[in-house]
Amino acid sequence: MIRLLRIEARHNPAPLVLPLLALLLWLTPIAQNLSPVALWLDRSVDVESSIQLIGPFAAAAAAWTASREHRRRMADLLASTPRNPYLRTLAAWLVSLGWMAAFYVILAAVVLSITAAQATWGGPQWWPLVDGLAALIMCSAGGFALGLLLRTRFVTPLVAVGTLGVILGLMSAAVNSGGVIGLLSPLYPAFGLNALVFYAPQPDLSMLKIVCYVGALGLALGLAAWHFRADRPSIRRAGAALLAAGLAITAAAGGLDATARTDSHGIVVPAFHNAAADHAVPYTPVCSHTPLPVCVHPAYDGGSELAVLATLINKIAAPVLGVPGMPVRAEQAPAGSADYGGLHGDPPVLDFQPFIVHGTSLQPQSFAQYFAESIALSLVIPGHSPIAAATPAQQAIALYLLRQAHDPAVLGLFPADPAVAAAAARLAAESPAARTAWLTTHLAAIRAGHVTPQDIP
């Protein structure tokens, strides 16, 4: 068997696509996310998401390997050899899978090594890496089974495209339609972004994915064995057992998937959830030394994140600093959201959502604009109220704040209302002292929605 594996390793086509995979990975966002800020869990989820790329090629390589005997018209000749045909074909698949798995493991090792040099908090997180590997094995096994069963020239492209289509389709179902079936996509992050550093990671979804992928693996290997059922009774029995077990496990995973729910810490699967381990992780925030201190979790302190956020938030909030009722601090918080006002507490603190800043500016541009608008509106609307429901007067003051910070406001949150634009211009024309005095007097009424644009001096 070892000799057979060695021969297969030399002749398997899988290594030929590895340079292409490396090139594609280098061009994808996974490689571009390797600059600080480095969060362990985020990087592990990035490696897991590389299955989107490696999975279709692994499936196609397995299908190509499985169809080899038929393609080279060797099936009859090999049928006359004494070796178990299922094990012989399985050896070829194992080698094909081995090359792809080795590529995945090397990718994970490289990414984690880079992360170890950059991370400022926490340690490696293995669950996403393990469920990514399980997904890779499942993709390869699926391709192997289809390559054996569908003896056509179209099987390899169909397997490659089909694998990618299923991965993307499931993910799109989860993101765009909220379908729970999409949680099983290898692309769906096993951990919620908000839970990355603020809460103890809950591997519920990773466990569910692994169960589902093991079931699919059983189905695929069972189908492959079924292909050789006429050769030996033992293969037929093994195939039937694998099919039954695979079907049962996949159905169980489907049932568990239906019970999954999303909370602020990520995905909760009741059967796997450990409520005792679900707790906030204590930390001491790192703050900027700016007029309005901006604080982030220490895990986000590795790159330029704090400087970028402190500069942006201080530019927007500069004219209202010192006004009673305005925030004394801005703080990254897991409950923060760009869609809702982030003020809370007394004295007020401005919460904003955690996200990673690569480089010296927020990207993409559309997100940067939305975030700036969210900060500006959060200063003048009540805490936890939707920013999209801001009144014209609140919009006018936020528009003034954005303009003085030289941040262009886009249509949407700021509709083309001449009264809003005129009120923002009038406020800009006021002297700083008069503006502060007016805001001090009227801030409560502004937040309560009792001020109209015409009331703004």
Partner 1 sequence: MNPLPARLAWLHLRSRRAPLALALVIALAAVLRLMQPWAVGPGPFAGTLPLVLAAGAAAIIAAGTQNPFGDPEHATWPAPRLRLIQVAAFVLAAAGLLALARLGHDPLAAIRNLAGFTGLALITATVISAPLAWITPLAYVFYCGGAIDGQIVNLWSWPALPATNHSATVIALLLLSGGTLAITRFGARDSQPTPT
Q: State which of residues 9, 24, 105, 318 lies at the interface with partner 1 (CB under 8 A).
A: 24
d(CA 13, CA 56): 14
Nearer CB in complex with partner 1: 69/407: 69
Give the nearest distance from C-beta 37 to partner 1 in angstroms.
17
User: Which of 117, 154, 233, 346 is in the footprint of partner 1 by CB under 8 A?
Assistant: 154
Tell me, by CB under 8 A, how many residues bind partner 1: 43
Interface with partner 1 (CB under 8 A), residue from 14, 39, 53, 58: 53
Q: Rounded to whole angstroms, what are the CA distances from 160 to 20, 163, 220?
A: 15, 5, 16
Which residue among 152, 275, 276, 418 contacts partner 1 (CB under 8 A)? 152
Residue at token pair 């693996």: 217
Q: How many CB atoms lie under 10 A from the CB of residue 175?
A: 13
Choose, by CB under 8 A, the member of 18, 22, 34, 71 that binds partner 1: 71
Backbone angles phi, psi at 331, to 5 degrees: -140, 135
Sign of the dihedral defined by the CA atoms of residues 71, 76, 82, 85, in that order: positive
160 binds partner 1 (CB under 8 A): yes
Pairing of strands 349-352, 261-263: unpaired
Q: Examine residue 139 and tell whether it contacts partner 1 (CB under 8 A).
A: no
φ, ψ of residue 228 to 5 degrees: the values are: -100, 20
Distance CA 44, CA 36 (A): 14
Which one of 12, 140, 156, 194 is in contact with partner 1 (CB under 8 A)? Answer: 156
Site string for partner 1, 179-198 (x = CB under 8 A): --------x-----------
> By CB under 8 A, is residue 291 in contact with partner 1?
no
| Token pair listed for 239 | 């195939």
Considering only residues 345 to 404 of the shown chain, the ones binding partner 1 according to CB under 8 A are 363-366
Instruction: At 216, give phi and psi (nearest 5°).
Output: -65, -35
Going residue by residue from 74 to 113, which x/- string records binding to partner 1, judged by CB under 8 A?
A: ----------------------------------------
Asked if residue 329 binds partner 1 (CB under 8 A), the reply is no
By C-alpha distance, which of 320, 289, 342 is closest to 398? Answer: 320
Q: Does 60 bind partner 1 (CB under 8 A)?
A: yes
Q: How far is the CB of 27 from partner 1 (least distance, A)?
A: 6
Q: Tokens 């001020």 sit at which residue?
A: 451
Q: Which residues pair with 295 in a beta bridge?
A: 287, 331
CA dihedral 23, 28, 31, 35 (to 10 degrees): 150
Write out the residues near partner 1 by the rule CB under 8 A. 17, 20, 24, 27-29, 32, 52-53, 56, 60, 64, 67, 70-73, 151-158, 160-162, 164-165, 168-169, 171-173, 175-177, 187, 363-366
